Amino acid sequence: MIGAAMGLPQDPVHEVGIVIFFLAVFLVITFIAASWPSKDGKPNPYSLHAYLKFAYNCFLKPHTGDGTGNQQDALESFYSAQASIYDATRAKLLTGREDMLGLVAAQLKHKVHTGQFTRKPVWVDVGGGTGYNIEAMSKEISIPEFFEAVYIVDLSPSLLEVARKRFERLGWKNVHVICQDARRFRLHEHLSSAQQQKEAAEKGHIIRDLDEKADAGGAELVTMSFSLSMIPEFHSVVDSLSSLLAPSGIIGVCDFYVQSAIDYQGRNYTGGFIDRHCMWISRVFWRTWFEVDRVNLEPARRDYLEYRFGTIISVNQRNRFMGVRIPYYIWIGCAKENGASIEKLAELDCAATESPFLTALDLQAKKSHSANAVDVHSKSYECALVNLAASLPLPAAWYQNHHWRIYFEDQVAKTVMFNNSYIYAFTWEDSRVDARLLKVKSDDVILALTSAGDNILSFALESPRRIHAVDLNPAQNHLLELKVAAFTALGYADVWKMFGEGRHDEFRNLLVTKLSPHMSSLAFQFWLTYGPETFNKKGLYLTGGSGHALRLVGRLFRTLRLSGEVDKLCSAQTLNEQREIWNHSLKHVVFSRILAWTVVGNEKWLWKALGVPPNQRNKSGHAIWEYIVNTLEPVVNTTLLSEDNHYYYLCLKGRYSRRSHPEYLTPRAHIKLNKPDAFDGLRIHTDEINEVIARISPGTLTIAVVMDSMDWFDPAGPEAATQIRALNRVLKNKGRVMLRSSGLSPWYIETFEELGFRCDRVGMRMPGTCIDRVNMYASTWICTKVSGLEGQRKGAVPPGYSTLEQLKI
C-alpha cells in the first residue's frame, strides 16, 4: 500500500489524494517543459524536454483549433508546437515506414529494370509532412538521379517548413513542397510533362478534371505514411489518388488500423489475412485512444483502399511501443484495371490449364468449338470473371510481377488445416535418379508434387516447356516461391546461405528489398511473419514437420555423447573410413530395437514428420527394425555422405556442406536459374492433385511425378482408380507417370494396367543394395500411357470428391 510504504496512515482517501498530488505534479512539470523556450530557439530533438513536449501535445493538449472545424487549423493546433521534434519523437511510434519504402523501392527498381516506365518516375508523398520519407528513401534509391520530380503534399505549414529546410540542406532540387489539400492536388499544375500529356489527351476526348493519367500521364509512385487515418473525408482523397496514379504506377500506404475478421471474411482480393484480425478489446481501446488526437482507425479506410486499387502486397504487423502492441498495416497496390483485360486473363488462364490460347472475342462469343478447343478454365480465371462482373479488384495473384503462383482459396478448410506450417523443409526424393529415368526434354509438360520444391528446381534445370507444381499445403508452395524468388533476385552467396546453410542474418532485409517484387502477397506475408525466426534463429532445415525429426535425431546423439562420431562420419573421406566409424560407434545405437520402437516407430515424431503413409507405419516392432536396417546399412556402405549423399548429411548436420548438396545449389545451376526467363514455365497450384488435373486440357501432360502419394489410398476405396483415370485423360499418348512405393509390387499397379498404362518397375531395393541415395522406397515405377479410355472426359473427378490424404506425403 502507498500509505504504508510512505509511513502514512492506510486511509483510502489519503492514498487517492497522494496519487492525485503526484499526477498533478507530473502534469505541471510536463506543461512547463513543453512551454519553456529552448536556448537559441534550437531544441535538441532527442532531449527529455522534447519527449515531455511530445507527451503534452499528444495526450494533454486539446486539438480543436479555432472551433470552425477547419482541418488545416486543427492540424496546426496539433503540430505547430512540436514540428521541430516530430521526426525524433515518431521514430519508434511510426514503425513500418521504412518497410513500406523498401517495398515500393523494390517494385520501382523492378519496373525500371523491365522497361515498364517510359520516363524517370514521379513521386507524390501525400501527407508527407517533414519530408522524412523522402530522405529515408534515399537509402534505397538516389532521389536526385532516380526521380524526375518528388512532391510532398501536406496541409500543415509548420511541418512543411521543416521539410523545406531539410531539402535546402540536402540540396535536392527535384523535391517540391506543396501546402495543399490532397484532394485538389493536380500533377499537371506543377509538372510540365504532365501538362503536355493532359493537353494532348483533351484533344477529341472528354476527360474528368481529376483524370491525370489519360494516355501515359500520372505519378509512378504515390505514398501515404500514417496520414490516411488523419483525413476526415478519406473517400474523396482515395478517389483522387486513383486518378493521380499512372496506369503502371505503384501506391504504398502504411498506417494504424483495427479490424475484426467478420469485416473481411469472404473477400478474395485483400492479399491474405495473417494477423489481420484484432481482438475486440484491442479494437475498442486503440480506436478510443487515437481519437483523442483526431486519428481515426475505423476499418473502412483500409477497405476502401483495397476496393479502389489492386493489391500487390498486404501485411499486418504489431508495433511494440512502450510495452504495448499497436496494430498497423503496410499495403502496396496498383491501378485496379492493371492486367484486367479479358484477353490478358485468357492468356494466363491458358498457361495454367495447357489450353490452346483463345482470343477475347472467342471467349466472349463462345464461338470456338473446334476439335482442339476445350472448355477448361482454372479456378483463378473463374474467380476473376466473378470479381470483374461485381466491379471488384482481381485477387492479388493477378497483380504480381510474375504469374508463377496460381490464385487459390486461402480461407477454406482444406487449406487452413495446415495452420501456416509446412511439413517438409527438404525433399526426400533422389533428383539424380529422376533425371536419369525421365530424361526431360524441352517440349515436356511436367506435373509434380511440390514438397519442399527441391525436385521442382531440379526439373527447372532441364528447361521443360512447363512445370505444374502441386501441393494442397499453402506453406509448401510458399517455400517453393521463396526459393524461386531467391534464384531470380539474389546472388549465389545469398542463395547458398539461405538454402545451403539454412540461415541468413539479413533475411528480413533481403525479403523486403530484393525478394518482394518476385513473390505473391500470401507468400510474402508468410515469410515476413515466420522467416526471421526460421533463418535467423532455428535454421530452415530444423523447422517444419521434418525439422522435428532432425532435432530429435540431434538430441539423441547429444544425449548419448555421439555428436563427435556423427561429425567424423559426415567428414569421412573414403567409404572404408565411413564404414569403420559406422560399425565402431553408431551402428549399434541406430539399429537398437528399443530405438526402433520408441523413436523411429513413434508416429508423432520421426515417421509422421518424414511423411510415411499409415499403411507403411502399421508394422510390428520387428518389421520397423528390419526396415531401418535394410534402409540405412546399404546407404552407409555404398554412398559417401561427405560428398555424394546430401540427403543423410542434411539429416545428421541440419545443413548442407560445400561438398555435399543438391545440384540446384551449385554455382553452375545458379547461373541458369538466375536468368530472367528461367521460371517462365512454372505454375504453382495450391489444391488437391485431382482438382488440378481436372482443370488441365486432355492430352497435354507428358510427365506426372506423383512420388508415393498412392500409398496413402485405401486399397478398398475408389481413390486410386479415379486418379489413374484422370491421369490417363490429361497425359499425351506415351506420356509417363513416375511413382515410388514402399512395396515391391504395389496393389494399384494392376489398376494402372487395367486403365490404359504399361507399367515397368525401373528400380527395386533388395537387401544389401540401394535403389537410390535415399533408399527409403522398395520400388520405382514408370507407367506409360498406351491407350485412352472410353468417355474419359466424363466424371474424371466426381463433383465434391476430395482426396486430401494423398497430399500429406
- State the pLDDT at residue 751: 96
User: Which cell numbers in the block locate residue 361?
Assistant: 472475342
HEC profile for 46-78?
Answer: CCHHHHHHHHHHHHHCCCCCCCCCCHHHHHHHH
79 band by pLDDT with thresholds 50, 70 and 90: low
- DSSP letters of 139-154? TTS-HHHH-SEEEEEE
The region, left, alpha or beta by phi > 0 then psi within -120 to 50, assigned to residue 778 is alpha
Look at 201 and 171; give whichever has higher pLDDT: 171
**Residue 171: how many CB atoms within 10 A of its CB?**
8
Contacts of 665 (CB under 8 A, 6+ apart): 495, 496, 499, 500, 656
Q: How far is CA 189 from the centre of its chain?
A: 39
Angle subtended by helix axes 300-308 and 234-244, to nearest 10: 20
Q: How far apart are the first and last CA of the chain?
A: 61
155 band by pLDDT with thresholds 50, 70 and 90: confident
CATH ID of 92-335, from 3.40.50.300, 3.40.50.150, 3.10.20.70, 1.10.3720.10: 3.40.50.150
- State the pLDDT at residue 587: 87
User: Which cell numbers in the block locate residue 469?
Assistant: 507444381
Strands 466-470 and 445-449: parallel
Lowest pLDDT segment from 149-163, 179-193, 616-630, 633-647: 616-630
Lowest pLDDT segment from 170-174, 523-527, 707-711: 707-711
Sheet with 682-685, edge to edge strand ranges: 682-685, 466-470, 445-449, 701-707, 731-741, 779-785, 757-764
CATH fold of 413-524+677-807, please?
Rossmann fold (3.40.50)
- State the pLDDT at residue 9: 47
The pTM (predicted TM-score) of the whole model is 0.85
611 band by pLDDT with thresholds 50, 70 and 90: low
State the average pLDDT over residues 702-720: 92
Q: List the beta strands (DSSP E) in 155-282.
A: 175-179, 219-225, 245-256
- DSSP letters of 271-305? S--TTT---HHHHHHHHHHHHTTT----THHHHHH
Contacts of 139 (CB under 8 A, 6+ apart): none
Q: Which of 581, 568, 622 is nearest to 600 (CA)?
A: 622
805 band by pLDDT with thresholds 50, 70 and 90: very low
627 band by pLDDT with thresholds 50, 70 and 90: confident
Strands 731-741 and 779-785: antiparallel
How far apart (Å, rounded) are the C-alpha atoms in residues 224 and 529?
23
Q: Which of 361, 275, 272, 377 is nearest to 325 (CA)?
A: 275
How far apart (Å, rounded) are the C-alpha atoms in residues 481 and 611?
22
Cβ 206 vs Cβ 219: under 8 Å = no
Cross-strand partners of 319: 326
Cross-strand partners of 736: 703, 784
- State the pLDDT at residue 375: 64
556 band by pLDDT with thresholds 50, 70 and 90: confident
Cβ 677 vs Cβ 775: under 8 Å = no
On the question of pLDDT at 51 being above 60, the answer is no
Find the length of the chain: 809
Look at 679 and 712; give whichever has higher pLDDT: 679
What amino acid occupies position 273?
F
How far apart (Å, rounded) are the C-alpha atoms in residues 519 and 510?
12
Q: List the beta strands (DSSP E) in 436-486.
A: 445-449, 466-470
Cβ 484 vs Cβ 703: under 8 Å = no
- State the pLDDT at residue 188: 85
SS3 content of the chain, % helix, strand, coil (to 5): 50, 15, 35
Cβ 719 vs Cβ 686: under 8 Å = no
Q: Is 334 exposed, middle or buried, given 0-12, 13-18 or 19+ CB atoms closer than 10 A?
A: buried
Q: Which of 117, 488, 516 is nearest to 331 (CA)?
A: 516
Q: Is 725 exposed, middle or buried, given 0-12, 13-18 or 19+ CB atoms closer than 10 A?
A: buried
HEC profile for 523-550?
Answer: HHHHHHHHHHHHHHHHCHHHCHHHHHHH
Query: pLDDT tens digits for 654-671?
Result: 999 999 999 999 999 999
The answer to whether 92-335 and 413-524+677-807 have equal CATH topology is: yes
On the question of pLDDT at 692 being above 80, the answer is yes
Task: Give just the sign of the alpha carbon dihedral 685, 690, 694, 700.
Answer: positive
On the question of pLDDT at 601 being above 70, the answer is no
HEC profile for 555-598?
Answer: HHHHHCCCHHHHHHHHHCCCHHHHHHHHHHHHHHHHCCHHHHHH
% of the chain at pLDDT higher than 90: 59
The region, left, alpha or beta by phi > 0 then psi within -120 to 50, assigned to residue 794 is beta
On the question of pLDDT at 535 being above 90, the answer is yes
How far apart (Å, rounded) are the C-alpha atoms in residues 565 and 563?
5
DSSP tally for the chain: helices H, then strands E: 38, 14
Q: Dmax of the chain from CA atoms?
A: 98
Look at 276 and 65; give whichever has higher pLDDT: 276
Q: Is 319 helix (H, G, I), strand (E, B) or coil?
A: strand
How far apart (Å, rounded) are the C-alpha atoms in residues 42 and 366?
73
What amino acid occupies position 366?
K
What does the buried/exposed string (b/e) look like for 289-326 if buried means 16 or more CB atoms within 10 Å of the residue's CB? ebeeebbbbebebbbbbbbbbbbbbbbbbebeeeeeeb
Average pLDDT value for the chain: 83
**Structural domain boundaries of the chain?**
2-68, 92-335, 342-399, 413-524+677-807, 544-653
Look at 240 and 2; give whichever has higher pLDDT: 240
Q: Which helix (H) or strand (E) segment is 260 a member of?
A: none
- State the pLDDT at residue 766: 85
CA dihedral 683, 685, 691, 695 (to 10 degrees): -30
How far apart (Å, rounded) are the C-alpha atoms in residues 34 and 85?
11
How far apart (Å, rounded) are the C-alpha atoms in residues 706 and 689?
9
On the question of pLDDT at 783 being above 90, the answer is yes
- State the pLDDT at residue 389: 87
Cβ 86 vs Cβ 129: under 8 Å = yes
DSSP symbol at 187: G
91 band by pLDDT with thresholds 50, 70 and 90: low
- State the pLDDT at residue 607: 46
On the question of pLDDT at 64 being above 90, the answer is no
- State the pLDDT at residue 525: 97
- State the pLDDT at residue 147: 97
